Amino acid sequence: MYYGGIETGGTKMICAVGDGDGNIMGRVKIPTGMPDNTIPEMIDFFKTWDIKALGIGSFGPLDLKKNSVTYGQILNTPKEGWDGCDLVGQFERALGVPVALDTDVNVAILGEVKYGAAKGCESAIYITVGTGIGVGVFVSDRLLHGLTHPESGHILVERNPRDNFAGCCKCHRNCLEGLASGVALEKRYGVKAEKLYDREDVWELESDYLASAITNYILAYSPEKIVLWGGVMHQEKIFDMIREKAKKLLGGYITSPVFDNMADYIVKPGLGDDSGIVGACELAKMGV
C-alpha cells in the first residue's frame, strides 16, 4: 500500500511516495513556479504510482477548517500566484484519492513523532529556523489546530537592549522570526548565516532569542521532546548554547528529569531533512 506526500516550499516542491511505514519509495523535486504549471507536474508524478491517499505539508497560512468555504487553500501568502490556491481540491479531483493538508512544520513533527527523534511521545514540537521560523505542535497525541494553526514562530520575545536591528517581520516589532530567522540574520549582518559561523557575538544573540522562545514553548506546551532544525541550525555549537540558556531561563520552575539531560531533550531530527516528507506520507495514511 502506497501513500503520497508533498512538502511545498518557496523554491521547490518535494513529492514522494511512502510505504506507510516511514520509508520513502520514490521522490521528485519540482521547482516552484506558478501553480498552473507546477501542480500538473506534481500530479503527473503521483499518477505513475498507485497511491491510496495523499498528505500535504505546506507553507501557509492555510485554511484547515473543514467546514470553511476556503478549506484546503493557501491563504494570503506573499508567494506570487499561490494566494488562494486550492491545494486539496486540485489534487483530490486529479488523483481521485483522499487528500489531507497541514502545515509544513506540523507534518514535520508528525514524522518525528512516528519515526524519528520524538518517537512514541504524546507531545513534542518541531522548530525550524531557516528563512522563516516555524513551529509544528503535536500535543495530546494530535497535531494542534484551533482558530487556525499554531504560529509560534512569531511569538514576541524580549529584545536585547543592545540589538538595534529593526527586525524583518512586517507585522511585529519584536517577534522571534523578525529577530532570529535566517532573513533576520542576513539583514542584520549583511551576509548569509553560513558566512557568520565564526562570529561568537552573532550566536550569543541568536541563542538568547531562541532559548527565550523555547522556554516559552516549554511552559506553554509542556513537550516531552523538542526537535530543532532548519538552515540556521546546521552547526554544532549553537545547540548547546540554546540548551544551557533555556535551562537557566526555566529557573528550575518545572520539575522533570528531562531537564537533567538537555542534550536528549532539545535534539536534532531523527529523520534529517526528511521529517516533513515522511510526515506528509503519514498524514495521508492517517486520513484514510
Write out the residues near a second copy by the rule CB under 8 A: 61, 75-76, 122-123, 137, 139-140, 142-152, 154-159, 161, 170-172, 174, 212, 215-224, 249-256, 258
What length does the chain have? 288
User: Among residues 51 and 137, whose Cβ is nearest to a second copy?
Assistant: 137
Task: Show the cell assigned to 11.
Answer: 523554491
Which helix H or strand E contains 244, and what residues bound it? helix 237-250
DSSP notation for 13-56: EEEEEE-SSS-EEEEEEEE---HHHHHHHHHHHHHTS-EEEEEE
User: Among residues 161 and 190, whose Cβ is nearest to a second copy?
Assistant: 161
Q: At closest approach, how far in Å is the CB of 286 from a second copy?
A: 14
Q: At closest approach, how far in Å is the CB of 142 from a second copy?
A: 5
Using DSSP, state whether 274 is helix, strand or coil: helix
List phi, psi (to 5°) of 109.
Answer: -70, -30
Q: At closest approach, how far in Å is the CB of 115 from a second copy?
A: 20
CA dihedral sign, ordered 186, 190, 194, 199: negative
Q: At closest approach, how far in Å is the CB of 10 from a second copy?
A: 18
Q: What is the Cα–Cα distance from 192 to 184, expressed in whole angstroms?
A: 10
User: Among residues 38 and 152, whose Cβ is nearest to a second copy?
Assistant: 152
Q: What is the Cα–Cα distance from 16 to 4, expressed in whole angstroms?
A: 6
User: Among residues 171 and 198, whose Cβ is nearest to a second copy?
Assistant: 171
User: Among residues 4 and 167, whose Cβ is nearest to a second copy?
Assistant: 167
Q: At closest approach, how far in Å is the CB of 36 from a second copy?
A: 25
Contact 227/125 with Cβ under 8 angstroms?
Answer: yes
User: Among residues 76 and 164, whose Cβ is nearest to a second copy?
Assistant: 76
Q: At closest approach, how far in Å is the CB of 209 from a second copy?
A: 11
Q: At closest approach, how far in Å is the CB of 192 from a second copy?
A: 25
Alpha-carbon dihedral angle through residues 244, 155, 269, 252, given to the nearest 10 degrees: 30
Q: What is the Cα–Cα distance from 40 to 33, expressed in whole angstroms?
A: 11
User: Among residues 21 and 158, whose Cβ is nearest to a second copy?
Assistant: 158
62 bridge partner residues: 74
Quote the distance between the C-alpha of residue 9 and its chain's center. Answer: 11
